[in-house]
Amino acid sequence: MTDQKPALRLEGIVKTFPGVRALDGVSFAVQPGEVHALMGENGAGKSTLMKVLGGIYQPEEGRIFIDERETVMRGPLEAKANGVMFIHQELSLAEEISVAENIYLGELPRKSFGRVDWDTLYSRTDAILEKLKVSFNARTRVGDLSIANQQMVEIARALTVDARAVIFDEPTASLTDAEKSVLFDVIADLKAQGVGIIYISHRMEEIFRITDRISVLRDGAYRGTLETAKTDEDEITRMMIGRSLDLTRRQAPATPGPVALRVEGLSCGDLFQDAHFEVREGEVLGFYGLVGAGRTEIAETLFGLRKPTSGRIFLKGEEVTITSPIDAIARGISLVPESRKEQGLVLGMNCRDNITLPQVGDLTAGPFVSDGAEISIYDQYRDRLQIKSPSWRTTVGNLSGGNQQKIVIGKWLSMRPEVLIVDEPTRGIDVGSKSEIHNLLRELAKQGYAVIVISSEMPEVLHVSDRIVAMYHGRVMREFTAEEVTEDSLIQAISGIEGSAA
Amino acid sequence: MQNDTLKKLIKNGAIWGFILFQLVFFEVAGRWWSLSDSAFMDLDSMLLLLKQSAPIGIIAIGMTVVMINGNIDLSVGATYALAGIVMLDSMNWPFMEAMGDASIPLAWLFALFTGSLLGLINGVIVWKTGVDAFIVTLGAMLGYRGLVFMYNGENPTYHLNWTMVDFAEADILGLETPAIVFLAVVLVVWLVMTRTVHGRNAYAIGDNREAAVNAGIRVGPHMVWNFALIGFLAALSAVAFYSGSGSVNPNDGMLFELWAITAVVLGGTKLTGGRGSIIGTLGGVIAIQLLRRGLNHIGAQTETVNLVIGIILIAVLFLDRQLNRKGAEELKV
């Protein structure tokens, strides 16, 4: 592995989007027969980098080499032709047709007059499936397969070509342990064949089990490569999270007021069970955990989007039942959702109308909406949140991520909520706006709001929260105060290592 | 930003530019190529054009609202016929005949009630079942047309009341009743869509339903009102037309839904909802009618009209797509 020429090498890849430098000069190399982990937090640039490799995005600068031959990939087909294959986290299979057709989609073997050569198709496919030791055959309809088996189909697809590099993007997210070992065997096989493998995952134990080297991205920049055998979780985490001035730990805890919201034994089916916590006026309560730990689902339940199966919710000491967002809003609970474009904003509408959307019914003069009242609300929150938009008429879809998020926050602040829940406050937002939003959240707490922040980014949680609730598999594992929390204890709590339920 | 405003102007003004082009083209073609011996742009024929646009135009206004809301209604043609039948047939009922001319407003009310009710039924089904509006109203289109035939078989339904005919043909400044009703509907619905909470919410729901739900908008009931509105307008269209004609054929109103959708789309409303305008639809309605008259004016065969409109529809949507194409690489978060 040492002095071979790399199977895949990236040099100085730069990719920018309006307002965000998504990739800032990324370089690294994958040797043939190497499993190379690519790590980084959400938003660090991993998926953008993969899209560049897959030919979906064109980088502005930088070069890609395959077997030291410079290659330009203008589209997914070219990537495939150059031997770069992807196993996606999100499956991209046609469910109504057979496994074999999916695997050879676009290049079905043919006989005369364009007829499909089914015999060849099925025998070729079965040969590949045999290697994967799967329980289904070439003729199975993909829609009848489990998610894990569908993943195997994706993998089989990658094996049909003479791949030089195979990229696995969070492949084990939906696999059982048994299925994982099969996957790891497949990876070992590929490795033995001299294929370069990029393995993207957040799961440390897998990284240590199968990878040879680890490259880390942070904020779109390459932070270095480590030898897996010579490093530990701590070092990797440090590289991923890094230290920047605006993400220091909270120092002075606020002096919180009375309890605004208390939750007792709240459960919602399999999503989360028996959650207990409270948030006071004037404090930020952070929720930290892995994706799927049930944090967002708790927020959605509090906002009336999901129906709890048991448990009680108290607002200012009074028990309440919340069955819809209308209820939640009326009682002073607001939710800035996880995905602002899908759940938060009406992208085709202007800034003003987005901010006033929940209360426009109260801003009428006679039968008509009062322009003046709306504009004054917009002006007020534009100034307060420092929203940078050319005018209230600007379509929200044209603003940067940070300003869009401020519009959503402004929308809910203008409703004067008692409890403001913010799910992933800075996802997909550039670093500068990130710290502005962090400061804003702190400021809101200071003004007496009860704020709940849900985040997958540890520095963010540590930076903004007065107290932190750690969740794992639908359970509240532990609650920390800002003074006592350490990164290690937090990581342990959200990995389920420390099982003391709070 | 400059660029943005310009684009907006082109987009919103496109249909009016097209109308202007038609006016000039047909005038010039008629006069200088001696395809016609009369002027194209004379006032009387333009007023007549507005009257002829009214039946589909009134429905198209309702269709605009429903489409901005992210739905569609294919049952309007059948609703139109059924409302017409109810109106004319009710005037033959003994107690109505006994009322003399006083039965006219009552017959109108029956028709409007019928239309609103049919629309309401569509809306409630869409809301409560969650089945796509396309499918629900496709079923309603067949079902309501079935009711039309069940009512009177293949026979036309008629009732002639000269007071009613006089009313329908009355004019103010040359504008006959149907044209006035059309323009009034345009004005009222335009105000609703641009100035009221209901209009605002219609755009929000059509653009991003999930965000609308999260903002506490009652999405289901809102849609039901819009279906009721388009049902009402389909009936109003029938009232305006059949008051003058006095006879409904069971096949009347067929393809009205498609002409209405064509006008709405030409006027710049998005099929996927969230964007569109009442004024644009007015332009779309006029453009189609103008094209019919214009082709007729220069002596083209009537059969060519549909072909030309079809081509123009596709060309307009292609242009719209080009203008609206977002950056090929959009940041997905």
pLDDT digits 0-9 by tens, B28-38? 888 777 666 67
Return the CATH number at B96: 1.10.3470
User: Given the structure tokens 């998610």, which residue do they identify?
Assistant: A147
Instruction: Indicate the range of A218-222, A384-388, B53-57, B276-280 predicted with least confidence.
Output: A218-222
**Does any domain span residue B9?**
no
Chain B CA closest to residue A391: B1
pLDDT digits 0-9 by tens, A180-234? 888 888 889 888 888 999 998 877 788 899 999 999 988 788 888 989 988 887 7
Q: How confident is the model at residue A499 (pLDDT cuts 50, 70, 90)?
A: very low
Chain B CA closest to residue A371: B195
> Tokens at residue A17, please?
């989007």
Span A113-135, average pLDDT: 87
pLDDT of res. A247: 55
Higher pLDDT, B22 or B58: B58
Span A432-439, average pLDDT: 82
- What is the Cα–Cα distance from A34 to A212, expressed in whole angstroms? 6
Chain B residues touching A343 at Cβ < 8 A: 210-211, 214
pLDDT of res. A375: 94
- Other C-beta atoms closer than 10 Å to the C-beta of B258 total 13
Give how far A251 is from chain B: nearest CA, Å. Answer: 31
Q: Which residues contact A209 (CB under 8 A, 6 or more apart)?
A: A184
Contact B196 A369 (CB under 8 A): yes
Q: Which of A20, A330, A358 shows the shortest C-beta gap to B331?
A: A20
Q: Which of A280-289, A459-468, B79-88, B294-303 has the highest mean pLDDT?
A: B79-88
Instruction: Indicate the range of A77-81, A226-230, A341-345, B204-208 predicted with least confidence.
Output: A77-81
Give how far A17 is from chain B: nearest CA, Å. Answer: 6
Domain count across chain B: 1
User: Given the structure tokens 């293949």, which residue do they identify?
Assistant: B154
Span B172-189, average pLDDT: 94
Span B146-157, average pLDDT: 92
pLDDT of res. B318: 82
Contact between B246 and B164 under an 8 Å Cβ cutoff? The reply is yes
User: What is the extent of the structural domain holding B118?
Assistant: 53-320
Does B108 have pLDDT greater than 90? yes
Does A113 have pLDDT greater than 70? yes
pLDDT, averaged across chain A: 86
Instruction: Indicate the range of A135-149, A373-387, B190-204 predicted with least confidence.
Output: A135-149
Span A363-372, average pLDDT: 90
- The percent of residues above 90 in pLDDT, for chain A, comes to 38
Contact between B264 and B64 under an 8 Å Cβ cutoff? The reply is yes
Span B281-310, average pLDDT: 87
Q: How confident is the model at residue A245 (pLDDT cuts 50, 70, 90)?
A: very low
- What is the Cα–Cα distance from A430 to B188, expressed in whole angstroms? 45
Helix (H, G, I), strand (E, B) or coil at A353: helix
pLDDT digits 0-9 by tens, A82-93? 888 888 766 778
Span A344-352, average pLDDT: 93
Tell me if chain B has a CB within 8 Å of the CB of A368: yes
Span A394-415, average pLDDT: 90
Span B46-50, average pLDDT: 89
Contact A325 B4 (CB under 8 A): no
Query: What 3 state SS string does A215-229 have?
Result: EEEECCEEEEEEEHH
- Other C-beta atoms closer than 10 Å to the C-beta of B223 total 24
Span A385-409, average pLDDT: 89
Span A236-240, average pLDDT: 78
pLDDT digits 0-9 by tens, B311-322? 988 887 787 777
**All structural domains of chain A with their residue ranges:** 8-243, 246-332+417-494
Chain B residues touching A403 at Cβ < 8 A: none
Helices (H), A94-193: 99-103, 118-132, 147-159, 177-192
Chain B residues touching A329 at Cβ < 8 A: 215-216
pLDDT of res. A502: 40
pLDDT of res. A43: 67
pLDDT of res. A418: 92
Does A171 have pLDDT greater than 90? no
- What is the Cα–Cα distance from B177 to B49, expressed in whole angstroms? 13
Q: Which residues contact B50 (CB under 8 A, 6 or more apart)?
A: B175, B179, B182, B183, B286
CATH 1.10.260.40 for domain A8-243, yes or no, is no
**Does any domain span residue B171?**
yes
Contact B212 A346 (CB under 8 A): yes
> Which of the 8 DSSP states describes residue A176?
-
Chain A with chain B: Cβ pairs closer than 8 A: 88
Span B180-191, average pLDDT: 96
Does B83 have pLDDT greater than 50? yes
The CATH code of domain A246-332+417-494 reads 3.40.50.300
ipTM: 0.84
Chain B residues touching A346 at Cβ < 8 A: 203-204, 207-208, 211-212, 274
Tell me if chain B has a CB within 8 Å of the CB of A365: no
Mutate to test the interface with B, among A15, A346, A409 (most CBs of B within 10 A): A346
- Residue B2 class from Cβ within 10 Å (0-12 exposed, 13-18 middle, 19+ buried)? exposed
pLDDT of res. A249: 61
**Does any domain span residue B313?**
yes
Q: B-contacting residues of A 406-425, CB under 8 Å? A: 411
Give how far A396 is from chain B: nearest CA, Å. Answer: 12
Span B251-279, average pLDDT: 92
pLDDT of res. A459: 80
Q: How confident is the model at residue B187 (pLDDT cuts 50, 70, 90)?
A: very high
Does B27 have pLDDT greater than 60? yes
Chain A residues touching B212 at Cβ < 8 A: 346, 357
Within this chain, domains A8-243 and A246-332+417-494 share the same CATH topology: yes
Of the candidates A389, A371, A345, which has an alpha carbon nearest to the alpha carbon of residue B1? A389
Q: Which of B195, B207, B216 shows the shortest C-beta gap to A347?
A: B207
pLDDT digits 0-9 by tens, A28-77? 899 999 999 998 876 678 888 888 988 888 898 999 999 888 988 888 88
**Does any domain span residue B45?**
no
- What is the Cα–Cα distance from A164 to A83, expressed in whole angstroms? 5
Per-position b or e across A342-378, b if 16+ CB within 10 A of its CB: ebbbbbbbbbbbbbbbbbbbebeeeeebeeebbeebb
Chain A residues touching B207 at Cβ < 8 A: 346-349
Contact B195 A346 (CB under 8 A): no
Contact between A322 and A315 under an 8 Å Cβ cutoff? The reply is no
Write the DSSP string, A379-409: HHHHHHHT---S-TTSBGGGS-HHHHHHHHH
Q: How confident is the model at residue A146 (pLDDT cuts 50, 70, 90)?
A: confident
- What is the Cα–Cα distance from A231 to A245, expressed in whole angstroms? 26
Chain A residues touching B197 at Cβ < 8 A: 360-361, 364, 369
- Other C-beta atoms closer than 10 Å to the C-beta of A231 total 15
